[in-house]
Structure 1
Amino acid sequence: MKNEKNIAILKEMAESVRTCMFTTFSTDNEFGSRPMGTAKIDDDGNVWFFTNEFSLKSKEISKDNNVLLAYSDPSKNTYLSVNGKAELVDDQIRKEAYWSIFIKAWFPKGVEDPNLILIKVTPEHAEYWDSSSSKAVVLFSILKAVVTGDTPDLGKHDTIKF
């Protein structure tokens, strides 16, 4: 059974940003990253994306399905890194349910596009930093640490498992 508290943290932090850097292990044995818009985070904590079935990232996932999703919202001082396993899923019902007008920019043929496929990322563990204090409070904490020699209090940092 999934940890509901950790799924709630994942959903809250990732859905507030929507776009992450989606990192795969490339066919040339190097890391490859690209920005991807999150289509949906389901109740089990799976993170869903739309892509072209014949894209480079699809080939990379087919070779090595370990992925890293990195979400960042510097304006709120929140950061989330998610390690998981990716799989390509051709599910027309989910495509229709997760579709939005923004996806049409990449898939002008719509939800019926024959190259349209979903990526499902099943999180294994994540690490997050949440210092939703204002930038002035963060700066004050850093300056205070410099003067006192203490470590600055930059909010909450934790590792979570799914």
Structure 2
Amino acid sequence: MEDQNLSGKEAINKLKAIVKDVNIAMMCTFGQHGHIESRPMGTAGVDDDGTIWFFTNDNSDKIKQIESEHGLCLSYSKPSDNTYASINGKALVVDDKQKEKELWNDLLKAWFPKGLDDPDMTLIKVTPHQAEYWDSNDSKMVVFFKIAKAAITGKQYSTDKDAHGNIKF
């Protein structure tokens, strides 16, 4: 299997497509004593330069962790479509009312009942450095068949050449 290596506009378009399709990321940060802590986060948006945005409460532990150690990992997973992505980047806490207004949707009221006027709301801005993705067009049944065939024939299972790749920013 040959990996795809994407960069520039092609890389950002691939990233945006995966993030839009999956939407929920496991955000992994460094907690106390260097332990990795993870939590699900809804992606608020992806800019044309690949910057990924999240809304959060400015009193959360993840904010303290990001302010202490800017590096993080985002993992996106949609097993029903065989779509996965792992994104490494730098995170910053950003208080930008204009950006909040641009990214806002009414579903966010579940976490921020006061809406855009919520004083505890802030943004996390993630600037990706590197990403890796797995995105097969095959259905679960086709993937299962290919795995079974490989097991029966003794040949190694492989995906389509475009199903795995690296994204450089």
Counterpart amino acid of residue 90 in structure 1: D
Deviation at 1:123, TM superposition (A): 0.3
Unaligned runs of 5+ in 2: 1-6
Does structure 2 conserve the Cα–Cα contact (< 8 Å) formed by 1:70 and 1:82?
A: yes
Deviations 1:56-96 (A, max 9, x none): 00000001011110000111011000000000010000001
Query: Alignment partner for residue 10 of structure 1, among 11, 15, 34?
Result: 15
Alignment correspondent of 2:142 = 137
SS in 2 for 1:28: helix
Structure 1 outlier segments of 4+, above 2 Å? none
Q: TM-score w.r.t. structure 1 length?
A: 0.96
Shift of 1:148: 2.1
RMSD: 1.1
The residue number in structure 2 matching 1:157 is 164
Q: How many residues align?
A: 161
CA distance in 1, matches of 2:137, 2:27: 24
1:26 aligns with 2:28: no
Question: Percent identity of the aligned residues?
Answer: 49
Q: Secondary structure at the match of 1:133?
A: coil
- C-alpha displacement of 1:27: 2.4
Higher relative contact order (CA 8 A, sep 6+): 2
TM-score (norm 2): 0.92
Q: 1:29: how far off?
A: 1.5
* Long gaps (5+) in structure 1: none
Distance 2:103 2:88 in 1: 22
Give 1:140 deviation, angstroms: 1.0
2:118 to 113, 120, 126: 113
Residues 24-81 of structure 1 show CA distances to partners (whole Å, capped at 9, x for unaligned) of 0012310000000000000010000001111100000001011110000111011000
Shift of 1:136: 1.2
Retained in 2: the 8 A contact 1:27–1:63? Answer: no
CA shift digits 1:91-144 (9 cap, x unpaired): 000001101111110110111111111000000000111112111110111011
